[in-house]
């Protein structure tokens, strides 16, 4: 029987099978503080890490740790290299996050181009808001637009399916350049990153945050986008140089942005709040009951499989 530290209060139904076979240490409140984690991790065999930075100090403190099961697909908050050096397995939940994140990206596109949240704000605050045609709230259709997807993993492909159903054109850039079956079935086309940025009406980011993708979208990349183009980021904040993005938005060099993630979460530039052509959400890509429950099941499956067979299902 393993001793497993769970950093955050997760859906109980998802944890039930794990609790039946192992000892779980779970928070009485919403989550454990870092100090509480450091106190409890000493003799634990596993850490189920949800909304937690797992750095070298924490890993060193967990002298019995055998596995860190990340609650989410992105592992940029975990020192994976140091865990590997210590012989600790790191897993993630790449499947459970797919549809909810793609839904949000598609919803942000709708909201940004059709100015849905902007109109909602003005209707609530401006009694003189004009209801007629061809005035301040005219937007853009998704139909017929070219969507450029940066990162054609599970989430990127799920977004592409939605875009194709809306009769959009899809181009993509990915570390692996050819998805033959996907291209044949969908009509999507691979391009270089520069070509994608130059051709797309909407650019949606779905790449993990790594050393190579940090500030992947910076001043140069923004400079070659169409002035009429929109940027959607539901990946990680630091994939975009936020300062450069702010400058390009302020100068009208791109048409707008929808951001679910930020470089210094939960902090972000106050200037974004004043921009009607920016839609902001607080990192809610997987924030649905269904997705959170399935993420718990997937993280638990990683732990169960590891303790039964000595290896993980979704090893990073």
Written as tens digits, the pLDDT of the chain (316 aa) is 999 999 999 988 889 999 999 999 999 999 999 999 999 999 999 999 999 999 999 999 999 999 999 999 999 999 999 999 999 999 999 999 999 999 999 999 999 999 999 999 988 998 887 777 667 788 999 999 999 999 999 999 999 999 999 999 999 999 876 667 888 888 899 999 999 999 999 999 999 999 999 999 999 999 999 999 999 999 999 999 999 999 999 999 999 999 999 999 999 999 999 999 999 999 999 999 999 999 999 999 999 999 998 877 899 8
Would residue 147 count as lying in a domain?
A: yes
Distance (Å, whole) CA 169 – CA 42: 52
The CATH number assigned to the domain holding 44 equals: 3.40.50.720
| Catalytic member of 122, 140, 283, 287 | 283
Which residues form the domain of 41?
3-96+288-309
Q: Is 263 a catalytic residue?
A: no
Q: Which residues share a beta bridge with 69?
A: 48, 91
Would residue 314 count as lying in a domain?
A: no
Q: Treating both helix axes as pointing N-terminal to C-terminal, what angle do 12-21 and 289-309 enclose, rounded to 10 degrees?
A: 10
Q: Is 298 a catalytic residue?
A: no
296 and 252, same structural domain? no
21 and 106, same structural domain? no
Distance (Å, whole) CA 69 – CA 2: 14
297 and 183, same structural domain? no
| pLDDT reported for residue 183 | 85
Beta strands across the sheet bearing 23-25 = 23-25, 3-6, 46-49, 67-70, 89-91
| pLDDT reported for residue 132 | 73
Distance (Å, whole) CA 246 – CA 195: 23
Would residue 12 count as lying in a domain?
A: yes
111 and 34, same structural domain? no
Would residue 57 count as lying in a domain?
A: yes
| Catalytic member of 236, 263, 292, 298 | 236
28, 14, 107: which is closest to 69 by C-alpha? Answer: 14
239 and 108, same structural domain? yes
102 and 39, same structural domain? no
27 and 82, same structural domain? yes
Number of alpha helices (DSSP H) and beta strands (DSSP E) in the chain: 12, 12
Beta strands across the sheet bearing 256-259 = 189-190, 169-173, 146-150, 202-205, 230-233, 256-259, 278-280
Distance (Å, whole) CA 58 – CA 68: 11
Distance (Å, whole) CA 298 – CA 176: 26
Distance (Å, whole) CA 156 – CA 148: 10
230 and 102, same structural domain? yes
117 and 87, same structural domain? no
271 and 141, same structural domain? yes
Q: Which residues share a beta bridge with 279?
A: 258
Distance (Å, whole) CA 117 – CA 195: 31
Predicted TM-score (pTM) of the model is 0.92
Q: Provide the 8-state DSSP code for 286.
A: T
270 and 174, same structural domain? yes
Strands 46-49 and 23-25, by their bridges, are unpaired
187 and 103, same structural domain? yes
Would residue 88 count as lying in a domain?
A: yes
Would residue 130 count as lying in a domain?
A: yes
Question: Which helix (H) or strand (E) element contains residue 198?
Answer: helix 193-199
Domain count, the chain: 2
Would residue 315 count as lying in a domain?
A: no
Q: Is 236 a catalytic residue?
A: yes
| Catalytic member of 57, 60, 185, 265 | 265
């Amino acid at each position: 029987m393993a001793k497993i530290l769970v950093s955050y209060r997760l859906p109980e139904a998802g944890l039930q099978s794990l609790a039946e076979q192992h000892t779980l240490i779970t928070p009485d409140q919403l989550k454990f503080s870092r100090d509480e984690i450091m106190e409890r991790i000493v003799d634990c065999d596993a850490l189920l890490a949800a909304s937690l930075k797992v750095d070298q100090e924490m890993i060193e403190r967990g002298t019995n740790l055998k596995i860190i099961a990340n609650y989410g697909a992105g592992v940029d908050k975990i020192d994976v290299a140091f865990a590997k050096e210590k012989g600790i397995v790191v897993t993630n939940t790449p499947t459970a996050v797919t549809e909810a994140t793609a839904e949000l990206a598609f919803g942000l596109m709708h909201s940004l181009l059709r100015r849905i949240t902007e109109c909602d704000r003005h209707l609530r605050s401006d009694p003189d808001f004009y209801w007629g045609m061809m005035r301040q709230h005219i937007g853009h259709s998704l139909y017929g637009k070219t969507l450029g997807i940066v990162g054609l993993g599970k989430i990127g492909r799920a977004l592409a399916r939605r875009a194709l159903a809306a009769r959009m054109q899809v181009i993509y850039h990915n570390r692996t350049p050819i998805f033959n079956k996907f291209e044949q079935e969908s009509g999507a086309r691979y391009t270089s990153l520069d070509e994608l940025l130059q051709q797309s009406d909407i650019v949606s980011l779905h790449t993990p945050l790594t050393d190579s993708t940090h500030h992947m979208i910076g001043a140069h990349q923004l400079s070659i986008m169409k002035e009429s183009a929109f940027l959607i980021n539901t990946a990680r904040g630091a994939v975009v140089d936020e300062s450069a993005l702010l400058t390009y938005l302020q100068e009208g060099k791109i048409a707008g942005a929808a951001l679910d993630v930020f470089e210094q979460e939960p902090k972000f530039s106050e200037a974004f709040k004043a921009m009607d052509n920016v839609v902001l959400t607080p990192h809610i890509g997987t924030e649905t009951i269904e997705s959170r429950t399935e993420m718990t099941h997937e993280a638990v499956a990683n732990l169960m499989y590891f303790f039964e067979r000595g290896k993980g299902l979704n090893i990073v």
